[in-house]
Amino acid sequence: MVDELLVKDLDVSVNGIRILDGVSLDINTGEVHVLMGPNGSGKSTLSNTIIGNPKYKVERGKILFNGKDLLKMKPDERVKEGIFMSFQEPVEIPGVSIFNLMRTAYLKSGGSTSELSAFRSRVSSLMSQLGFQESFMNRSVNEGFSGGEKKRFEVLQMMVLKPRMAILDEVDSGLDIDTLKIIGSMVKEASKSMGMLIITHYDRILEYVKPDFVHIMKDGRIVSTGGMEIVSEIKEKGYNYYK
C-alpha cells in the first residue's frame, strides 16, 4: 500500500508571527524528500506542525495523510496513523527509562503484552546495531545524553515504531563520521518501506540516502524543488541565490 502525506498551502504562525507561507509538499511511500534551507527559514516549524505541536498555529491550508485530516488529530493520534517525527533537540525526561518509553509506545501502537519479550529482543538488536549497550535501556530518556546519543536514540525510536511516514529533523547534525555512517545506513534501509522527509543543513547524510526530491525553504516558503543537482547548486551559490 502506498501512503501519501499531503501538505497543501500551509500558513503557520507562532505567537502571532507568520512563519510558514503557503507551503505545499506531497510525499509517498518509498520517496525520500530532503528539505534544506538557512537557519530560521521555517523547516522545524513545518515538522512540528505535522506532528501537532500546539505552539504552532495553522492559519490556512491542509495536512492530509491518506486523505485523513491530521490537523483535527492530537499528536498521539497522528502517530497511530503512522507519522513519526524525530526531534532536533530532544528533551530530557528524568526518571522515565528508555525501555519504559519504548514499551509504552509499543503497547499504545497496538502491541500485545504477550509479545513483549519478542519486542524486547527486537529493541536490543536494533540498539546494538546503533552501538548502544544493553544497559542503555535503563537510562532516563535523553538525560545526560551526548549529542550523538540523542540522535541515535531518535533513529532507534523510528526503527522500533516502524512508522509509515517519517520526518527526520536534523538527525545528522553534530555527528562524528562513524555515527553518521551508522545513522545514514539505517535511515537508508528504513526509507525503502516508508515515506521520508529529511530536514538537514548539510549534504553529508545524502552520501548514504539518495533523495528523490530536494526542496529549498527560505523565509517560510519553498523556493525551489528538484533533484540531487540542487544540492550541488546550493554548495556552489549559497542560499542567497534563491529568492
91 lies in the site for other proteins, by CB under 8 A:
yes
104 lies in the site for other proteins, by CB under 8 A:
yes
C-alpha cell of 184? 545514514
Length of the chain in terms of residues written: 243
Nearest of 83, 81, 87 to residue 165 by alpha carbon: 83
Q: Out of 13, 24, 29, 100, name the contact with other proteins by CB under 8 A.
A: 100
Cβ proximity to other proteins: between 156 and 209 the closer is 156
Q: Out of 24, 29, 109, 124, name the contact with other proteins by CB under 8 A.
A: 109
Secondary structure E strands in 29-177: 32-36, 56-65, 68-69, 83-86, 93-97, 140-141, 165-169
CB of 109 to other proteins, least distance (A): 5
140 lies in the site for other proteins, by CB under 8 A:
yes
The residue range among 83-91, 171-179, 187-195, 224-232 that interacts with other proteins, by the rule CB under 8 A, is: 83-91
x/- map, 149-168, other proteins, by CB under 8 A: --------x---x-------
Cβ proximity to other proteins: between 93 and 223 the closer is 93
Tell me how far apart the alpha carbons of residues 168 and 191 are, in angstroms, rounded to a whole number.
11
Secondary structure E strands in the chain: 4-14, 17-28, 32-36, 56-65, 68-69, 83-86, 93-97, 140-141, 165-169, 195-199, 213-218, 221-226
35: Cβ contacts below 8 Å, ≥ 6 apart: 43, 46, 197, 198, 199, 200, 215, 217
127 lies in the site for other proteins, by CB under 8 A:
no
12 lies in the site for other proteins, by CB under 8 A:
no
Cβ proximity to other proteins: between 119 and 239 the closer is 119
CB of 150 to other proteins, least distance (A): 12
Q: Out of 54, 133, 176, 177, name the contact with other proteins by CB under 8 A.
A: 54
Q: Out of 58, 71, 105, 223, name the contact with other proteins by CB under 8 A.
A: 105
57: Cβ contacts below 8 Å, ≥ 6 apart: 12, 13, 14
CB of 62 to other proteins, least distance (A): 20
83: β partners: 165
Q: Would you tell me which residues interact with other proteins (CB under 8 A)?
A: 51-55, 74-76, 79-80, 84-85, 87, 90-91, 93-96, 100-101, 104-105, 108-109, 140-141, 157, 161
